[in-house]
């Protein structure tokens, strides 16, 4: 059985492959299947974007498909940048410009609470989808710190830690990050389903359970 990941990001694919290590399953990225379009992420929520990507590519390829959408929510900014995290400072997407804008907006703010959120969606080939969510709460510091990671990692310190994501060893970050938490929950929630699909493919295609269906 093939499980399609609606991503072309090699780091994300490596993380998913490490967690979804199920017998008989072949995990493929969107770039490994020719002709797949980029799905426009125009939803107003992480859930909407993740489901749209998963369902669109699942119905197009007739493969079980996993997709995610993630971003940063800041309390003092009423949840911004949210779904606009990647292009907070405008087009084209620029991590440095996003960090500069965010720090500028928070310059006079004492409330630095924030959280990274990742929503993972799984769609059957017929377009039925479920979602799970991973959250990593933390705070925004006042200047960038660290050279690892990407995006807002240099200015985000997760709760119960003193280092930013950009200072952390990758192994530690991948244990506590929003994406790692979402993927581990996805495996707990759907592991049996995917394992069954892998064992029975293509003789029988199990249906998604109705719990937490998007």
Active-site entry in 69, 75, 153, 200: 69
Task: Compute the distance between CA of residue 194 and CA of residue 200 in angstroms, rounded to an integer.
Answer: 10
| Predicted pLDDT of residue 208 | 53
Q: What is the dihedral of CA 32, 202, 208, 41, to 10 degrees?
A: 20
| Residue 214 predicted with pLDDT over 90 | no
pLDDT the model gives residue 133: 97
Mean pLDDT of the chain: 89
Tell me how many helices (H) and strands (E) the chain has. 5, 6
The yes-or-no answer on residue 159 being catalytic is no
Percent pLDDT > 70 in the chain is 91
pLDDT (0 to 100) of residue 197: 62
Rounded mean pLDDT, 143-162: 95
Instruction: Enumerate residues 6+ apart whose C-beta is below 8 A from 89.
Output: 97, 98, 100, 101
pLDDT digits (tens, 9 = 90+) for 54-75: 999 999 999 999 999 999 999 9
* Contacts for 191-198: CB closer than 8 Å, 24+ residues apart: 191/22, 194/1, 194/3, 194/20, 194/22, 194/25, 194/64, 194/122, 195/22, 195/23, 195/24, 195/25, 197/1, 197/64, 198/1, 198/22, 198/23, 198/24, 198/25
Nearest to 194 by CA among 69, 47, 57, 23: 23
CA distance 141 to 155: 5
CA distance 43 to 26: 29
Tens digit of each residue's pLDDT (9 = 90 or more) over 168-212: 998 899 889 999 999 999 989 998 887 766 555 443 444 454 333
Give the per-residue pLDDT at 160: 97
Q: For tokens 């949210």, what's the residue?
A: 82
Mean pLDDT of 102-112: 97
- 151, 71 in Cβ contact below 8 A? no
Alpha carbons 102 and 91: distance in angstroms, whole number:
15
pLDDT surpassing 90 at residue 23? no
Provide, rounded to the nearest whole percent, the portion of the chain with pLDDT above 90: 72
Q: Which CATH class is domain 2-200?
A: alpha beta
């Amino acid at each position: 059985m093939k499980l399609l990941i609606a991503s072309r990001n090699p780091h994300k694919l490596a993380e998913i492959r490490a967690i979804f290590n199920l017998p008989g399953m072949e995990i493929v990225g969107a770039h490994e299947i020719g002709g797949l379009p980029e799905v426009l992420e125009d939803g107003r929520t992480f859930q909407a974007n993740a489901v749209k990507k998963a369902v669109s590519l699942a119905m197009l390829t007739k493969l079980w498909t996993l997709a995610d959408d993630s971003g940063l929510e800041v309390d003092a900014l009423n949840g911004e940048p949210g779904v606009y995290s990647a292009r907070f400072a405008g087009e084209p997407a620029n991590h440095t410009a996003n960090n500069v804008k965010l720090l500028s907006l928070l310059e006079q703010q004492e409330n630095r609470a924030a959280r990274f959120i990742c929503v993972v969606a799984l769609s059957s080939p017929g377009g039925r989808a479920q979602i799970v969510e991973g959250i990593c709460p933390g705070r925004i510091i006042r200047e960038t710190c660290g050279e690892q990671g990407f995006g807002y990692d240099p200015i985000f310190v997760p709760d119960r830690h003193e280092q930013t994501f950009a200072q952390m060893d990758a192994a530690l970050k991948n244990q506590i990050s929003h994406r790692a938490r979402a993927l581990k929950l996805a495996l707990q929630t759907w592991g049996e389903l995917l394992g069954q699909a892998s064992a029975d493919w293509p003789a029988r295609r199990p249906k998604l359970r109705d719990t937490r269906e998007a």
